[in-house]
Amino acid sequence: MNLNEANRKASLEAPNYAYVDSDQVENETVDYEEYEDFSYALSDRQSSEVVRMFGYPIGQHDDAEYEAALMLLTGEEYNYSKKDALSQITDHFGGDEAAAMQEIQDTLMLLELESDNDVGFCWWDAGLLHFFIRKEDLLAGNFERTYCSLYSS
């Protein structure tokens, strides 16, 4: 067994705060923090990780892929309305809403960089950088069309 084979492991990423159905993970006795601890244990992740590839982008809203798809396809500014973004992306696809939804689903978080004083960078007020890529570009190895967004609460 070589070193690469020894370091391979299965990974599962549970949806984070923005993407989880809170009605399913919270009740009178269990809150989101316990769910988060459980999800870190499942994936063998730490909350202090600075760099991640793929998965769910950290944030408070579940619209990062809408923003990225809109910017990558049309260059239009995102107004924080998923409905408006879907409409603009649908227009881009000649009125085909199914194609627009597929494009949003195929917009992937390529890389996430968190602020970290020990490493020496801080994005705005301790935010994160998200880099997104279209699935077809990733599969083709084309990294010329990516979108970088800054998230900070």
In Å, what is the CA distance from 36 to each residue of 15, 39, 45, 106, 142? 9, 5, 11, 25, 34
pLDDT tens sequence for the chain (153 residues): 454 555 555 556 777 767 777 777 777 888 878 877 877 777 666 556 777 888 888 887 889 999 999 999 999 999 999 999 999 999 999 999 999 999 999 999 999 888 787 777 777 777 888 999 999 999 999 999 999 998 887
